[in-house]
Amino acid sequence: MDTAPTLADYEELADVEIDLSDTDLDRETIDAELERLFDA
Protein backbone atom coordinates (compact mmCIF):
# COMPACT_ATOMS: atom_id res chain seq x y z
CA MET A 1 0.00 0.00 0.00
CA ASP A 2 1.15 3.51 -0.71
CA THR A 3 -1.12 5.14 1.83
CA ALA A 4 -0.33 5.74 5.48
CA PRO A 5 -1.12 3.01 8.00
CA THR A 6 -3.96 3.77 10.38
CA LEU A 7 -4.35 3.08 14.08
CA ALA A 8 -6.61 0.20 13.10
CA ASP A 9 -3.72 -1.36 11.12
CA TYR A 10 -1.50 -1.27 14.20
CA GLU A 11 -4.23 -2.72 16.37
CA GLU A 12 -4.68 -5.54 13.86
CA LEU A 13 -0.96 -6.25 13.86
CA ALA A 14 -0.76 -6.36 17.64
CA ASP A 15 -4.18 -7.96 18.08
CA VAL A 16 -5.18 -5.29 20.57
CA GLU A 17 -7.69 -2.45 20.75
CA ILE A 18 -6.51 0.81 22.23
CA ASP A 19 -9.26 2.38 24.33
CA LEU A 20 -9.04 6.15 24.00
CA SER A 21 -12.06 6.88 26.19
CA ASP A 22 -9.85 8.19 29.03
CA THR A 23 -8.15 10.78 26.86
CA ASP A 24 -9.02 13.73 24.69
CA LEU A 25 -7.28 12.02 21.78
CA ASP A 26 -9.40 10.46 19.09
CA ARG A 27 -8.70 8.09 16.25
CA GLU A 28 -9.00 10.73 13.57
CA THR A 29 -6.28 12.82 15.23
CA ILE A 30 -3.95 9.85 15.53
CA ASP A 31 -4.59 8.75 11.94
CA ALA A 32 -3.87 12.28 10.74
CA GLU A 33 -0.56 12.28 12.60
CA LEU A 34 0.32 8.87 11.17
CA GLU A 35 -0.35 10.23 7.69
CA ARG A 36 1.84 13.28 8.38
CA LEU A 37 4.68 11.06 9.56
CA PHE A 38 4.26 8.73 6.59
CA ASP A 39 4.64 11.65 4.20
CA ALA A 40 7.42 13.38 6.15
Partner 1 sequence: MERRTFVLSAGAIVGGGGLALGTGAFDSVEAERDVSITVADDADGYLSIRPHDGPNGAYATMDDGELAVELTDDNGAVAGDGVNANALTGVANLFTIQNQGTNEVELAVSPLTFLDVSGSIFPPSIDGVLGVLLVPQSGSWSVDPDRGVLSITDLAPGEETDFSLAAVAFPESAIDEVEIDDELLITAEA
CB of 40 to partner 1, least distance (A): 4
CB of 27 to partner 1, least distance (A): 11
Alpha-carbon span 12 to 37, nearest angstrom: 20
CB of 3 to partner 1, least distance (A): 9
Binding site for partner 1 (CB under 8 A): 1-2, 4-5, 7, 9-16, 18-20, 22-25, 29-30, 33-34, 36-40
Q: How far is CA 3 from CA 11, 13, 24, 29, 32, in A?
A: 17, 17, 26, 16, 12
